[in-house]
Amino acid sequence: MSKKTIVVCDHIHENGLKLLFQDPDIMMINASDEPKDKLINEILPLADVAITRSSTDVDEALLIKATKLTAVVRAGVGVDNVDIDGCSKRGIVVMNVPTANTIAAVELTMTHMLSCVRQFPYAHNNLKNDRVWRRQDWYGTELKDKKLGIIGFGNIGSRVGVRAKAFEMDVIAYDPYIDSSKATNVDIAYTTNFDDILACDIITIHTPKTEETIGMIGKKEIAKMKDGVILINCARGGLYEEEALLEGLKSGKIAMAGIDVFDKEPATNHPLLDLNNVTVTPHLGANTLESQENIAIQAAENAILAVKGIAYPNALNLPIKENELPDFVKPYLELTQKMGHLSAQITKSAVKSIKVIAEGDIAPFVDSLGTFATVGVLTESLADQINYVNAEFVAKDRGIEIVKETKPNTSGFTNKISLKLTTKNGTLRLAGTVYDGKVQRIIEVDDYTLDFGPKGVMIFFRNTDTPGVIGDVGRIIAQHDLNISDFRLGRDNKQQALAVVRVDGAVSKDLLEELSQLKACISVASATL
């Protein structure tokens, strides 16, 4: 099978590049230093998946040339430079990396908040640059007992709230798209009345940039605010109407503003820069060494999953609207697709039916789980011919029955997904769950109870439960110059056992054949995720 090509269009951290370079199934082209015309006209036509940042616009001119492209990974949160509709029309999945820079953005927000109340940049410049020692000019205020209004209580806004509570602030959150308990569970007030936010001493905004949120703080909203309010925006440019913000700062209605993002960037000549009651930074929300490494690694991992057809984490344009599902659902969708792909690799037989059973809070989303399971199963035989739109139609044409069920949750897990694959040679059942909202685990294989992550190169070795088998398996694997990175064992009540062995490298047919010759072997198979 020919290698798939991932093109890195813009600079990312070297550890992300290393992940791509080390994958033996991928051809990686680092085009971050190439001229844009060469990138678009000569390099991107080779790409199956592209990784971009803000320096490369995924627009009509690019899409016309990148005819092989199946997915775009935006290494960051914002996708303002990606034509999502244009990608969707061409069947290109668009993904972003929404959480890798969370802490960086949270801490920058707190930096601006503290800089505003203590006028830190101006005091610093007055001493360092002007060499003036005038303490009496720099009386600030304290965060303690101030009322903070948070607009948008997602990954970033919620963490700002927790940190503000540590400063003994009175915090209130506004976000109509979350359950109020997300705020109240961390001792933060929740409101559905936007005027409650406008009455706060300090207001910070943490929403995506949508038609609903563009300019949501304008002249009318500012007029309702208390005199001397402080406004913070480290989210997206344009959420505050910049003309209204400028007017409010000039009049003193707004005492200070902390701004990291602008409607049009770079903003080197913006009138806000002329004011002495604004702290500004040049869009530094993701600019920490830690976040840049996290962004690169997550972007690389997502690109690898996409180019192999395994999963599309954080996809923004899937037909089942993954981005509109509750956050806890997304890891189960990915897990179910991986379980489908894994089961098809283990069985390697014509599929007769795919059955998905959902237990727990995940149960209402069983239809979406069924779609992801079907894509996972059929990817093994159809590769990039299968997608989320055509999966169930293709299955029907092939006479594959798809069954989706829900059951009362008696498993002891918060949620449990079971996938039963029936082929012409028999059945295989996998069950999985997600720990701590993000750690995907497979917990059952047929009647065996195990606990392993669905990733990497795995050998599934079923055997009679007799002494010495584990040693024999380890010895044979070592003889094929493979290291064992994980070894999980399950036993049933029929004196049989199943070992799931993760190895650092490709599994050859000779290795599987040698394992199958062991006297205790019942079956052996390998799979790669």
Three-state SS for 362-374 is CHHHHHHHHHHHH
Residues 113 and 255 in one domain: yes
Pair of tokens at residue 28: 């990686």
Catalytic member of 283, 301, 334, 380 = 283
Q: How far is CA 39 from CA 43, 45, 47, 162, 317, in A?
A: 5, 9, 10, 44, 25
Residues 296 and 187 in one domain: no
Residues 251 and 292 in one domain: no
Residues 125 and 227 in one domain: yes
Gap between the Cα atoms of 504 and 472, Å rounded: 18
The residue segments making up the domain with residue 32 are: 1-99+287-317
Residue 322: predicted pLDDT: 54
pLDDT bucket at 378, cuts 50 / 70 / 90: confident
Q: Are 362 and 414 in contact (CB under 8 A)?
A: no
Gap between the Cα atoms of 32 and 74, Å rounded: 14
The total number of structural domains that make up the chain: 2
Tell me what the pLDDT averaged over the chain comes to: 92
Number of C-beta neighbours around residue 430 at 10 A: 24
Residue 252 backbone zone (phi > 0: left; psi -120 to 50: alpha; other: beta): left
Residues 137 and 30 in one domain: no
Q: Which candidate, 62, 54, 58, 59, places its Cα nearest to that of 37?
A: 62
Coil vs helix vs strand at 444 = strand
Quick check: is 283 catalytic?
yes
Number of C-beta neighbours around residue 274 at 10 A: 10
Residues 171 and 107 in one domain: yes
Got the DSSP string for 94-115?
EEE--STTHHHHHHHHHHHHHH
* DSSP letter (8 states) at residue 486: E
Gap between the Cα atoms of 162 and 383, Å rounded: 45
Q: Are 417 and 358 in contact (CB under 8 A)?
A: yes
Residues 150 and 224 in one domain: yes
Residues 269 and 306 in one domain: no
* DSSP letter (8 states) at residue 43: I
Coil vs helix vs strand at 448 = strand
Residue 328 identity (one-letter amino acid) = F
Pair of tokens at residue 17: 């590049």
Residue 430 lies in a domain: no
Residue 462 lies in a domain: no
Percent of the chain with pLDDT over 90: 76
Q: Are 198 and 149 in contact (CB under 8 A)?
A: yes
Coil vs helix vs strand at 475 = helix
Residue 55 has pLDDT above 70, yes or no: yes
Can you give the CATH number for the domain in which 291 is found?
Answer: 3.40.50.720
Percent of the chain with pLDDT over 70: 98
Gap between the Cα atoms of 88 and 394, Å rounded: 20
Q: Select from 280, 297, 332 the last residue of a domain.
A: 280
Q: Select from 317, 338, 371 the last residue of a domain.
A: 317
Residue 1 has pLDDT above 60, yes or no: no
Residue 146 lies in a domain: yes
Quick check: is 265 catalytic?
yes
Secondary-structure percent of the chain, ordered helix, strand, coil, rounded to 5: 35, 25, 40
Residue 80: predicted pLDDT: 79
Residue 276 lies in a domain: yes
pLDDT bucket at 155, cuts 50 / 70 / 90: confident
Residues 263 and 310 in one domain: no
Residue 321 has pLDDT above 70, yes or no: no
Residues 156 and 228 in one domain: yes
Give the global pTM: 0.64
Residue 175 lies in a domain: yes
Residue 324 has pLDDT above 80, yes or no: no
Residue 172 has pLDDT above 80, yes or no: yes
Q: How many residues does the chain have?
A: 529
Pair of tokens at residue 118: 């203590």
Over residues 284-302, the mean pLDDT reads 93
pLDDT digits (tens, 9 = 90+) for 499-515: 999 999 999 999 999 99
Coil vs helix vs strand at 287 = coil
Residue 211: predicted pLDDT: 73
Q: Which parts of 199-338 are beta strand (E)?
A: 202-205, 229-233, 254-259, 278-280
Residue 346 lies in a domain: no
Residue 116 identity (one-letter amino acid) = C
DSSP lists the bridge partners of residue 358 as 406, 417
Residue 206 lies in a domain: yes
In sequence order, the 6+-apart residues with CB closer than 8 A to the CB of 380 are 341, 344, 345, 348
Pair of tokens at residue 131: 């060499």
Residues 58 and 114 in one domain: no
Return the residue matching tokens 């650092």.
Answer: 504
Number of C-beta neighbours around residue 342 at 10 A: 27
Residue 54: predicted pLDDT: 83
Catalytic member of 14, 42, 243, 265 = 265
Residues 186-202 as b or e (16 or more Cβ within 10 Å = b)? eebbbbeeeebbbebbb
Residues 146 and 250 in one domain: yes
Gap between the Cα atoms of 321 and 88, Å rounded: 12
Residue 59 has pLDDT above 70, yes or no: yes
Residue 521 lies in a domain: no
Catalytic member of 159, 206, 236, 270 = 236
pLDDT digits (tens, 9 = 90+) for 200-254: 999 999 988 777 789 999 999 999 999 999 999 999 999 999 999 999 999 999 9
